[in-house]
Structure 1
Amino acid sequence: MRTTSRYDAQGVMGSGNWYGIPNYAEYTMVFYNKALFDQHHIKVPTTFAEFTAALKAFKDKGVTPLAGAGAEYPAQQYVYQLALSKADRSWVDAYEQYQGKPDFHDAAWTYGATTFADWVKKGYLAKSSSGAKAEDAGAAFIAGKYPMFFSGSWWFGRFKSEMKDEWGTFPFPGSTFTLGSGGNLWVVPKGAKNKELAYDFIDITMKKGIQNTLGNNGGVPVAADPSAITDPKSKALIKDFTTYADGDGLAFYPDWPVPGFYDVLVSETQKLITGSAEPDAYLDALKKAYDAGAPKG
């Protein structure tokens, strides 16, 4: 998913205060293929130690465990999630909200970059994924080629409708944070014509019936009736999001802080996959791009 930075939004909406209403939420998780776990007699992990053990177990059996894509978002989101597993809220706020100066060579960023690079070297992610796009990774997971795929709830409905193998989800182990937010915002510009129609549309999307339908079809609603969500997978999806939201565990997306950062994250993470850049050089490149685009002062 290509996220939109606050700078992109301000460029569209103009300067000054502006407000929006989210009618759905989104977050990242590990999708897993139950059939492949059963076939290879590997336990579904609940801790990070079990997760890394599962990665090794699949690789030892000749199976690349993680679907990845370096030409778009999934790869750099792996790096960010690994960094988040060593981070706290002040770390997130410094990076995303400019409440402090982020250190791209601190323990969290260093862990994220070095662990990701190590996973590629160990074969947990394929080097060939450096040129793959998100659609390639998702389609390969649907086809049963990979046991796991770390990505967002925006895939949920598609997996639900297209996957033949039984599958499930679990939160990324060992981290109180994950990538996520309130989803896209509906915003009505001050100078917009037909404002009342826009307000009516927003009201419609927030109605219980619409929110309940969203919740039963792979979405994460923000105003549904919990008792109306009957699909078991959807109930688990919403429950895990609620746990993150209630625990202040949503850490936004890595490309949000500065304009153009998404492209830098993608291209530099590709270098980690191919081995053409070491973690320190990778982090230097992120720092340079971040510092160039972040507000001064």
Structure 2
Amino acid sequence: MNSHRHPVAARRRAAAGAALAAGCVLLATACVPGTDGSGATGPGGTSTAVPDPAKAGKVTLTVWDQEIRGGQNAEIQRLNAEFEKEYPNVRIKRVSRSFSDLKTTLKLAISGNNPPDVIQANQGYPDMVAFVQAGLLQPLDNYAGIYGWNTRYPNTLLNLNRVSADGTSFGTGRLYGISQTGEYIGVYYNKDVLKKAKVALPRTWPELTAALPKLKAAGQLPIQFGNLDKYPAIHTFGALDAAAGGGPGSRDSILGRGKGFDNEATTEAARALADWTAKGYLPKGANGTGYDDAAKQFASGKGAFLITGTWELADLKKPMGDKLGIMPPPPATAGGNPVTTGGQGLAWSVTSKTKHPDVAAAYLDHLTGAHAANVMSQEGVLPIIPGSEAATLPKDSADGQMVAGWQALNAHDGLVPYLDYTTPTFYDFLSAKLQDVISGKLDPDRLGPDMQKEYAAFLAQQKKRGGAEGGGA
């Protein structure tokens, strides 16, 4: 990036202006007040001009993120260094934690007397909605208008970072974050392991399931898996649910407008997870194996498949090289459209107590623009909007396959939000239930009814709350 601040700022203003001119013409039905930039004012009534961090004086911007893995960490380090070089008056004080640690400590940090300025917040009820309800996040609609974020992103993804005005639901309302990375739960495969077992790369889901006993018979571990961290089972189960045809229904239920989870797809997915465990297609003691440990085992050649997110690619390709491949979970029939869990990385949000909202917003814009997309591609990270660098990736490389899978999923509406978004307690509830399915403590046929009970109780609470608020209006 050019280190001279003013030419760069000028290009940003020009780009933002062009985006705003086209913004709500393209997405007219999607815009909410403030996102088109018309008549919008910044925090405290400031103007709608693109903020210039160079005029903010000396600033320390404290940022909490969970981008600790190889590629993600590398691209954030590069982008942070570029931002500091462009604005020498700004110092970025970065605090990086694992997803689990961030989820555990973040609310306490941002509700304290000295909160960070920028954080990564998980979408859905447990985190983002709870933070908004507590008044801990700053709405970003005005900045979306200034920078043209509403035209930078597909609306279906941008909406996952919205929370309703009454703070009761997500998917609509005011904008409280923007995401940098695209992501989906894919099927990684080790080409050498498949070749040794004389198993062809499956092109349909039935072919994948048929390959599992062949791999085991050949002395190979079919699927590497570790669930000590709990969230991996949610991801694997989401992919199984989508493979069973539950994708559209689950998406509606996650967004609070569906029939729930007591259905054939949920039962089929739960049975598959239990069956894979019982037949030894997953490692023994998977509930006691860490996610990172399982990934390292896969990278060392122990396992034909690894079902996890695209965020793992950079760490896997370093030791595996050309042995590594990735694809979305294959469709039910040859030539069908892929469906899987995914969407976008954690939202980058601005806390409500920050003293530097304009600098924080400029930082978010820096992390998510076209240049940032190219930096991400160089580091093996999937940007939401792949840039020119992604177009140069060899199509048969793992990076090229990852991008092609992302494009196919978006083209065919194949992304289903993460199941843990569903209710404020669904992450803890579902992760515990899935551990019980894997350990054999829970009959897989009970999972759907149990999920339904949890979901129905939440909807009833939402309806009661909405009625009480409406009655008091």
Which TM-score applies when normalising by structure 2? Answer: 0.58
Q: Describe the SS at the equivalent of 1:221.
A: coil
Distance 1:267-1:165 versus aligned 2 partners, 3 A rule: farther
| Cα distance in structure 2, aligned partners of 1:271 and 1:228 | 41
| Cα distance in structure 2, aligned partners of 1:11 and 1:60 | 48
| Residue 253 of structure 1: how far off its partner (Å) | 0.9
CA contact (8 A) 1:212 1:229 kept: no
% identical aligned pairs: 28
Quick one: which of 182, 189, 192 aligns to 1:25? Answer: 182
> Equivalent residue for 1:167?
324
| Residue 264 of structure 1: how far off its partner (Å) | 2.1
CA RMSD after TM alignment: 2.3
> Equivalent residue for 1:177?
339
CA contact (8 A) 1:127 1:273 kept: no
> Equivalent residue for 1:208?
370
> Equivalent residue for 2:428?
263
Amino acid at match of 2:204: T
> Equivalent residue for 2:130?
11
Q: How does 1:30-109 map to 2 (within 5 A)?
A: 30-71=187-228, 72-87=230-245, 90-104=248-262, 106-109=263-266
Deviates more, 1:84-93 or 1:143-152: 84-93
CA contact (8 A) 1:24 1:219 kept: yes
Quick one: which of 221, 234, 243 aligns to 2:408? Answer: 243
CA contact (8 A) 2:186 2:326 kept: yes
Deviates more, 1:140-149 or 1:180-189: 180-189
CA contact (8 A) 1:216 1:234 kept: no
Q: How does 1:84-233 map to 2 (within 5 A)?
A: 84-87=242-245, 90-104=248-262, 106-163=263-320, 166-174=323-331, 176-189=338-351, 192-226=354-388, 229-232=391-394, 233=398
Distance 1:159-1:89 versus aligned 2 partners, 3 A rule: closer
Post-superposition Cα deviations, 1:164-188, rounded to whole Å, max 9, x if no partner, equal: 6711112111253211112222233
Amino acid at match of 2:355: K
CA contact (8 A) 1:67 1:149 kept: yes
| Cα distance in structure 2, aligned partners of 1:112 and 1:145 | 24
Q: Describe the SS at the equivalent of 2:420.
A: coil
Distance 1:11-1:207 versus aligned 2 partners, 3 A rule: same
Distance 1:288-1:132 versus aligned 2 partners, 3 A rule: farther
| Residue 191 of structure 1: how far off its partner (Å) | 5.9
Q: Describe the SS at the equivalent of 2:325.
A: strand
| Cα distance in structure 1, aligned partners of 2:306 and 2:247 | 26
Q: Identify the structure with bigger relative contact order (alpha carbons < 8 Å, sequence gap 6+).
A: 1
CA contact (8 A) 1:220 1:238 kept: yes
| Residue 82 of structure 1: how far off its partner (Å) | 1.4
Which TM-score applies when normalising by structure 1? Answer: 0.90
Deviates more, 1:78-87 or 1:142-151: 78-87
| Residue 13 of structure 1: how far off its partner (Å) | 2.9
Post-superposition Cα deviations, 1:130-185, rounded to whole Å, max 9, x if no partner, equal: 22221122111112111110000110111122336711112111253211112222
| Cα distance in structure 2, aligned partners of 1:103 and 1:146 | 31
Deviates more, 1:142-151 or 1:222-231: 222-231
CA contact (8 A) 1:109 1:283 kept: yes
Unaligned runs of 5+ in 1: none
Unaligned runs of 5+ in 2: 1-98, 104-121, 136-164, 166-172, 333-337, 464-473
| Cα distance in structure 1, aligned partners of 2:220 and 2:251 | 38
Amino acid at match of 1:59: K
CA contact (8 A) 2:246 2:266 kept: no
| Residue 5 of structure 1: how far off its partner (Å) | 4.6
Equivalent pairs counted in the alignment come to: 296
| Cα distance in structure 2, aligned partners of 1:73 and 1:168 | 23
| Residue 31 of structure 1: how far off its partner (Å) | 0.5
Q: How does 1:251-290 map to 2 (within 5 A)?
A: 251-290=416-455
CA contact (8 A) 1:70 1:269 kept: no
Amino acid at match of 1:178: T
| Cα distance in structure 2, aligned partners of 1:235 and 1:197 | 34
